[in-house]
Structure 1
Amino acid sequence: MKVRSLLFSTLCMLAISVTFTSCSDDDDAPWNDEGTKVELPQRRIFILNEGKADNNNAGIAFYAPNRDANDSNNNFIANIYFKQNEKQLGDTGQDILEYEDNIYVIVSGSSLLLKLNAAAVEEARLSFSSSDGQPRYMAAKDGKIYVTLWSGKVARIDSRTMKIEAYVDVNANPEQIVENEGKLYVANSGYGEGTDVSVIDLNTFKKEKDIPVVKNPNRILESNDEVYLLSWGIWTNVLGEGYTFQRIKSDDTVESIAVASAFAEHDDTIFLIYSDWKSDGYEHIFSTYNTKTHKLTEGNFLKNAPQELLSSSIYGFNIDPETGEFYISTSDYVSNGDIYRFKKDGTFAEKFDCGGINPSKMIFLQ
């Protein structure tokens, strides 16, 4: 349960003891919007636009999925970070995470970890040293933020104080990181040559082992108490050599399941996309994987998708955990990207400009 929800529920119980006043559901408790320059609705989506490397043009866009902002101009704000803080986010927005009612952002090229409130107002920042290397991705657990660093380390950071508490060595160029059953799993890309996932015990904060996987592991997630990853391998569509979707079993053996270059998870189903470059654009192959039955089903989970999406470069793939809606972002790497929204059943809903270059990850505040 969210911290704000627990406090809200406690206040509700006190009110009920002396009156007949009732309180709304936990998810309706207000966010901390202290310092905001704009009024935002309860349901919020924040889009991290990476920008172009070395151009200092990363940004965060705000989107109201219900179109219910009191001022309709606030249903979409192209760069809400700049609007709220009157400064640029920095160079290369790499990762974004909502944890305990705060937003955390990694700005890789600027070597920063930012802590924002729920309205994208900055509260604190942490600068990484040159010996740390650039920060890449993060996971959160029990009041700690765990950040992968290109120096071959993972940093443990207190989410409240934003101070680094400890480091643990993994292997070269760690990318995405995920927590599962008291362990951290770290995909070590190794400049494209890495062949393992490191496992860290959260209690001791020491590396336990390395698990061999397909070359160049990058993306990683947890579903149904198991870990799944994407290796980008070499430039081929051969399973086990190129873009490969894998399952790390409970005995740490690894199963190669399908060819895929992007994935997202919802309700124990992993949705997979493989983007294959052709001379006239991209060709996308879709499939789904049930993490309870371990069954792969081939076939497009999108309905009536616009034709231009089916031949565009897919840059980001996110699913709203509350509604199950799909958000697929595209990029031409030089101008603002587009986001295609689909309903839970795959029906196309809308397309909109994301407000920046290279839209990647999105977070959903309910």
Structure 2
Amino acid sequence: MKKNWLYCTLVAIPLMSGLTACNNEDDPNPNPNPEPTTTYGAYIVNTGSGNNYGSIQWFDKANQTITGDLYKAQNGKDLGDLQDLCIYGSKMYAVSTQSSKVEVLDLNGKLLKSIPMNTAEEKPMNPRYAVGAEGFVFITAYDGTVSRLDTLSQEITGSVEVGAYPEALTYVDGKLYVNISGYGSGDKVAVVDVKSWTKTPDITVKLNPYTVIFDGKDGYVYVVSNGNYAGTPTLPEEQWIYQTLQRIDVRTNQVEDVCNATYAAKKGDNIYVLYAEYYLPERNSCFVYNVKTKEKKEFIDIEDIPSPGGIAVDPVSEDVYIINQPYGSLNDVYIYSKEGQFKKKIETGNYTTNIRFLAE
């Protein structure tokens, strides 16, 4: 993998340092979620393996170039493990599960503060995912909690218990929606009222909600449940639970199935879907689902992505980024237009799991 440190130092710093309009922490906006008009690029989140080789790369959209590891270039050391990356205001929040920490970075990857995530008994909480809203970053952890990090003081100011093994989460209209995986045995989405900082009744979904939950910006929260590895040879077919995208009506908490999905990303009325059942490769596909017409059409030939590992959509151009995640080697990201036309392939790091766009 090329390590383009010159580009990282000379180009990325002046570009990102000027991005202050999206700083919700310092300048509260009466319209906190305006539609972006410019995408500057994307941060590539490489989880690594175990406690090692996690990294953050920057894909510059204008120049169509990708850096090596921003964190190492800025701080002169390795990040270690990396589970998630939250971009909020003028900062990034790098979440490390095995190291049980959240590191606060500027938009160039410079370390500003490292926050240990430990219980009152000084045991590791093992944080997982993060989302920013209302001047806070909310962080799930395997001790069964969501913590609240104040973005001004950079201190943890509270936590609330939500259930066993919480994973990905999203924020909608004053509430957090949190996938409760139960380490594969859960079937709930927990709901936390942010103002009162209390948990409200759970919402029942299909088995094992995990990495995918997002605000559809249409009155629904969308969540993928991973099921029980349908097709497992030792599991009778009548017990198979397929990977499924569902949506939750935020007014009524009613849940309805949308389609089979492993990974999904939404822009407007279109949901871009990767469906890849490990034991049932003949069912695998990559398609677009329109939430209004409920029509489904092929986006690309799934055989073009031999090891599907994630999907994301540029919030402005609607370019679609698809992760190819071959085991034991560096990963790739394939970029397509919204019509499915191939545009570019970029080599990424070890175990690429997320793509976070920087747009305003």
TM class by smaller structure: 0.7 to 0.9
Structure 2 match to 1:243? 243
Determine which of 192, 196, 200 is the counterpart of 2:184. Answer: 192
Determine which of 16, 41, 44 is the counterpart of 2:41. Answer: 44
Q: Deviations over 1:304-324 (max 9, x none)?
A: x69542xx1111211111211
Structure 2 match to 1:15? none
How far does residue 269 in structure 1 lie from its aligned partner after superposition?
Answer: 2.4
How far does residue 283 in structure 1 lie from its aligned partner after superposition?
Answer: 5.8
The answer to whether residue 199 in structure 2 is matched with residue 202 in structure 1 is no
Determine which of 101, 111, 135 is the counterpart of 1:112. Answer: 101
Structure 1 match to 2:235? none
Structure 2 match to 1:168? 160
Determine which of 323, 326, 347 is the counterpart of 1:329. Answer: 323
Structure 1 match to 2:224? 230
The answer to whether residue 347 in structure 2 is matched with residue 346 in structure 1 is no
Structure 2 match to 1:39? none
Conservation of the 8 A alpha-carbon contact between 1:288 and 1:296: no
Structure 1 match to 2:262? 261
Q: Deviations over 1:216-235 (max 9, x none)?
A: 11121111121110001111
Q: Deviations over 1:256-306 (max 9, x none)?
A: 221111101112422122113469x77632333334x2x43222123xx69
Structure 2 match to 1:177? 169
Q: Deviations over 1:194-225 (max 9, x none)?
A: 11111111110100111111111112111112
Using a 3 Å threshold, how does the CA distance of structure 1 residues 213 and 158 change in structure 2: closer, same or farther?
same
- Spell out the pairing of 1:142-161 with structure 2 (5 A cutoff): 142-161=134-153
Q: Which amino acid aligns with 2:215?
A: E
Structure 2 match to 1:100? 89
Structure 2 distance, partners of 1:313, 1:307, is: 9
Q: Which runs of 5+ in 2 are unaligned?
A: 1-17, 24-35, 232-237
Structure 1 distance, partners of 2:22, 2:318, is: 25
Conservation of the 8 A alpha-carbon contact between 2:245 and 2:259: yes
- Hey, which bits of structure 1, 4+ residues long, moved more than 6 A? 237-240
The answer to whether residue 271 in structure 2 is matched with residue 273 in structure 1 is no
Higher normalized contact order (CA 8 Å, seq sep 6+, divided by chain length): 2
How far does residue 132 in structure 1 lie from its aligned partner after superposition?
Answer: 5.2
Bigger shift: residues 206-215 or 100-109: 100-109
Structure 2 match to 1:299? 297
Conservation of the 8 A alpha-carbon contact between 2:208 and 2:227: yes
Q: TM-score if structure 2 supplies the norm length?
A: 0.82
Report the number of matched residues. Answer: 318
Q: Deviations over 1:65-106 (max 9, x none)?
A: 2217xxxxxx32121211111111112x11112111212211
Conservation of the 8 A alpha-carbon contact between 2:22 and 2:90: no
Structure 1 match to 2:56? 60
Conservation of the 8 A alpha-carbon contact between 1:52 and 1:333: no
Determine which of 42, 56, 67 is the counterpart of 1:77. Answer: 67
Using a 3 Å threshold, how does the CA distance of structure 1 residues 6 and 162 change in structure 2: closer, same or farther?
closer
Secondary structure of the 1:276 match is coil
Structure 1 distance, partners of 2:21, 2:287, is: 37
How far does residue 3 in structure 1 lie from its aligned partner after superposition?
Answer: 8.2
Conservation of the 8 A alpha-carbon contact between 1:287 and 1:297: no
Structure 2 match to 1:220? 213
Q: Which amino acid aligns with 2:125?
A: G
Structure 1 distance, partners of 2:279, 2:241, is: 19
Structure 2 match to 1:358? 351
How far does residue 255 in structure 1 lie from its aligned partner after superposition?
Answer: 0.9
Structure 2 distance, partners of 1:277, 1:166, is: 39
Using a 3 Å threshold, how does the CA distance of structure 1 residues 301 and 163 change in structure 2: closer, same or farther?
same
Structure 2 distance, partners of 1:243, 1:88, is: 35
Structure 2 distance, partners of 1:113, 1:253, is: 34
Conservation of the 8 A alpha-carbon contact between 1:48 and 1:59: yes
Q: TM-score if structure 1 supplies the norm length?
A: 0.80
Using a 3 Å threshold, how does the CA distance of structure 1 residues 289 and 181 change in structure 2: closer, same or farther?
farther
Structure 1 match to 2:285? 285
The answer to whether residue 133 in structure 2 is matched with residue 141 in structure 1 is yes
Q: Deviations over 1:161-212 (max 9, x none)?
A: 2211011011100001111121111110001001111111111010011111
Using a 3 Å threshold, how does the CA distance of structure 1 residues 59 and 131 change in structure 2: closer, same or farther?
same
Conservation of the 8 A alpha-carbon contact between 1:52 and 1:334: no
Q: Which amino acid aligns with 2:105?
A: L
Conservation of the 8 A alpha-carbon contact between 2:44 and 2:58: yes
Q: Which runs of 5+ in 1 are unaligned?
A: 8-25, 29-41, 69-74
Structure 2 distance, partners of 1:190, 1:132, is: 18
